[in-house]
Structure 1
Amino acid sequence: MAIGYWIGRGAGAAIALAFAAAGNFVAYWVSDRAVLAMYGAQPANQAAFPRLVAQVDRLASKAGLPPPRVYVIDNDQPNAFATGRNPQHAAIAVTTGLLGTLDEAELAGVIAHELSHIRHRDTLTMTVTATLAGAIGMISNLAIFFGGSDERRSSPFAGIAGLLLLLLAPLTATLVQLAISRTREYAADARAASLTGQPLALARALMRIDEMARWVPNDDAERNPATASLFIVNPLSGTTFDTLFATHPPIRERVARLRHMAQFDASKN
């Protein structure tokens, strides 16, 4: 609304409010289908992907969740994400690269991680924040294009204000997105390790995925970086900018926490 007010005073704020309301509505109801379509995800059936479907059904039952819809993305980069507004309307998508890279225990760890996101409705929070981060960036670009109201344009500070708006609006949205995403990743790792009882298997999976993601591109993710936070490991190419504004905690820190969990479990036994 502040950006809308800068563009067109009261009318601009009203239009921005309507835009935000529509964006939230769409994000809540159809963002899961939009994200799946964005990545060309196809439903996984029992005949074609028996190992995957069986793992999802088994772990969902163990977690006390209804079985989510299962999708496969034809992409060589090993990765996975979950989406959906609640456990009753959830989906898990994995890449063909993931299925070809991980063993049974590692795959179970990844699926358990995504089920943990579903159980605690992280999928809704992360999908909505990704949608809104992209929307704020688009609105800020419109603000620069239209240049604000006549009074704003006549001000000697209009150019400076426009530049700050272009930089700070999407940056602020991104920082909020990062804070939410990083916190939820740590929590999902811990819950996944507890669900499978094999924290080291998830740690191995994270290291494998991270290593391959560095040199196997995910072109769809590069075109839609606002969705990067949905994946279990950052799917972007790893440039300096991507690293600085990474949507995920460092893999070494996630692995260290999982190894600590394994040591603690071993000491109890």
Structure 2
Amino acid sequence: MTGYLRTAVLMAAMTALFIGIGALLGGAGGALIALVVALAMNAFTWWNSDKLVLRMHAARPADGPEGAALTQMVHKMADAAGMPRPAVYILDNDQPNAFATGRNPANAAVAATTGLLRSLSREEIAAVMAHELAHIRNHDTTIMTITATFAGAISMLANFAMFFGRGRNGMGLIGTLALMILAPMAAALVQMAISRSREYEADRVGAEICGNPLWLASALQKISGLAARIDNDAAERNPATAHMFIINPLHAHAHDRLFSTHPNPENRIRALREMAGQGARRGPWA
């Protein structure tokens, strides 16, 4: 429960930051307007998150022999985990990677790249898809959609401060410029902290679903090495979706680990190997 408590605290901090900026811009009325806007934006994004993200990455339904095998694998693990079967998609992308999206477990989708299907063994692919199923079962897709929306809205409000808030909030030009710079930075840090904590939990639950933590450790090692050398143009065009992938699909994060949306792969692999040493529940692919 520690991970869930940490996530709840961080999401509360994100909400408070958003409302606080609204209050700085327009007092109590501004805070109320900010809250209403946040609720409206999150409701729209939550309802349409799967369609929006799949369209951004040109995902296609998993079909043909390759797609049928992937769908059968995902559905078998979902059945064994006692969760609804998600829709399964394939991304025509050479970078090995995968993500999950959707507003809740009953309306969710998982997607794997053609690069992942070509580069990994059957067991490693099962482990990666189990990780994505864990995100769905843990409602991480909902959490990360909301935090991404908040982060974007905070940046928007901070920019509004320059044009509408400087004369009324008492901060002056320097204070307003500081708000424009620091508020989006704080939002990004909170978003990334939430993403990192959810990745460790999805690794743990995913290892339980597939039945062997070492399969996921091996997959992460392969994916992280290949992803660093192969571009993901769709992700580069839509960096706000980077946190959804099992491994960060962007290359820029290597220059600043503080702003990485994912934990260090080596730390994740180490945790999975320790989990394997302690014994794990045998899933449908063990």
Cα distance change on mapping 1:241 and 1:4 into 2, 3 Å: farther
Match of 1:231 among 245, 250, 253: 245
Asked whether the 8 Å contact 1:127–1:230 carries over to 2, the reply is no
Asked whether the 8 Å contact 1:136–1:173 carries over to 2, the reply is yes
Q: Say yes or no: does 1:108 pair with 2:126.
A: yes
Match of 2:155 among 113, 137, 148: 137
Asked whether the 8 Å contact 1:8–1:149 carries over to 2, the reply is no
State the match for 1:187 in structure 2.
201
Q: Percent of aligned pairs with the same residue?
A: 51
Match of 2:106 among 76, 85, 88: 88
State the match for 1:248 in structure 2.
262
1:210-225 equivalences in 2 (<5 Å): 210-225=224-239
Q: Say yes or no: does 1:204 pair with 2:218.
A: yes
Letter in 1 for 2:208: S
Asked whether the 8 Å contact 1:78–1:98 carries over to 2, the reply is yes
1:239 offset after TM fit, Å? 4.1
Question: After superposition, what is the alpha-carbon deviation per residue over 1:29-60, rounded to whole angstroms, capped at 9, x for unaligned?
Answer: 11221111111111112555122111111111
Question: After superposition, what is the alpha-carbon deviation per residue over 1:96-153, rounded to whole angstroms, capped at 9, x for unaligned?
Answer: 1111111100000001001111112111111211222122222222323x1525345x
1:210 offset after TM fit, Å? 0.7
State the match for 1:53 in structure 2.
71
Match of 1:262 among 276, 279, 285: 276
1:23-102 equivalences in 2 (<5 Å): 23-45=41-63, 47=65, 49-102=67-120
Letter in 1 for 2:104: N
1:259 offset after TM fit, Å? 1.1
1:250 offset after TM fit, Å? 0.8
Match of 2:165 among 145, 148, 157: 148
Matched residue of 2:279: which SS? helix
Letter in 2 for 1:168: L
Matched residue of 1:216: which SS? coil
State the match for 2:11 in structure 1.
none
1:76 offset after TM fit, Å? 1.3
Query: In structure 2, how many angstroms separate the alpha carbons of the residues matched to 1:5 and 1:131?
Result: 19
Ranges in structure 1 where 5+ consecutive residues have no aligned partner: none
Letter in 2 for 1:196: C
Report the TM-score, using the length of structure 1 for normalisation.
0.89
Ranges in structure 2 where 5+ consecutive residues have no aligned partner: 1-18, 281-286
177-186 vs 248-257, which deviates more? 177-186
Q: How many residues align?
A: 262
Cα distance change on mapping 1:261 and 1:240 into 2, 3 Å: closer
